[in-house]
């Protein structure tokens, strides 16, 4: 499968490496370039404020695509709140801006280091994904041969809990209570 990743920072590269390990063809799009065509699966490995610009600029190109939002929409000035309404999420806002795309929420509860290593402590890194079933099936299939566990976290409105969990994990790491190489893990 072909995968397009917006952003080539730590998260974009760690995510891309897992898709490549699973046998997918990954191409990166950075702020210096523009895309003429996008893959069936598109990962937005960008900061939350960039979602608006991407949705506006690429609305037509993203039509019919599975679009994965990895952002945690927190207030980086205070580190004390999410900047989306409590009854919504960044992913739900993005779905409203891209009504002809299938938006998923994933990777926001993972740190780049745990995506690179494939482990959190002694546990396998688990990626939680929320969204439309058809989109989740494609996403999960694309990561089948990676070192990651992928679990279905429910419909897109579950992105609210994923974003709150990602926010909590980031604040724990920023306050040095856990490392950026750690985080929450899921065991079966």
Q: Which domains does the chain have, with CATH numbers?
A: 2-175 (3.40.50.720)
Q: In the chain, what are the helix, strand and coil shares in percent, each to the nearest 5? A: 35, 20, 45
pLDDT at 36: 64
Residue where the block lists tokens 């897992």? 18
**Residues sharing a CB contact under 8 Å with residue 84, sequence separation 6 or more, in sequence order:** 73, 90, 93, 163
pLDDT at 37: 77
Residues of the chain with confidence (pLDDT) below 50: none
pLDDT at 33: 64
Per-residue model confidence as pLDDT tens digits over 104-147: 999 999 999 999 999 999 999 999 999 988 899 999 999 999 99
Q: What is the pTM of this model?
A: 0.95
What would the two tokens of residue 176 be? Answer: 């040095």
Q: At what angle do helices 159-174 and 90-97 cross, to 10 degrees?
A: 130
pLDDT at 133: 82
The full length of the chain comes to: 188
């Amino acid at each position: 499968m072909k995968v397009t990743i917006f952003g080539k920072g730590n998260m974009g590269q760690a995510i891309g490496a897992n898709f490549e390990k699973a046998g997918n063809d990954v191409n990166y799009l950075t702020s210096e370039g523009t895309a003429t065509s996008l893959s069936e699966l598109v990962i937005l490995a960008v900061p939350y404020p960039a979602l608006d610009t991407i949705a506006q600029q690429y609305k037509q190109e993203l039509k019919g695509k599975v679009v994965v939002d990895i952002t945690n929409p927190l207030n980086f000035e205070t580190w004390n709140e999410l900047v989306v309404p409590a009854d919504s999420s960044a992913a739900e806002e993005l779905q409203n801006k891209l009504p002809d795309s299938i938006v998923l929420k994933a990777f926001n509860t993972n740190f780049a280091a745990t995506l690179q290593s494939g482990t959190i402590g002694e546990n396998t890194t688990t990626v939680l994904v929320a969204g439309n079933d058809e989109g989740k099936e494609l996403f999960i299939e694309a990561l089948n041969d990676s070192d990651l566990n992928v679990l279905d976290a429910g419909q897109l409105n579950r992105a609210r809990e994923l974003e709150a969990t990602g926010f909590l994990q980031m604040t724990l790491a920023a306050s040095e209570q856990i490392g950026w190489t750690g985080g929450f893990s899921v065991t079966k």
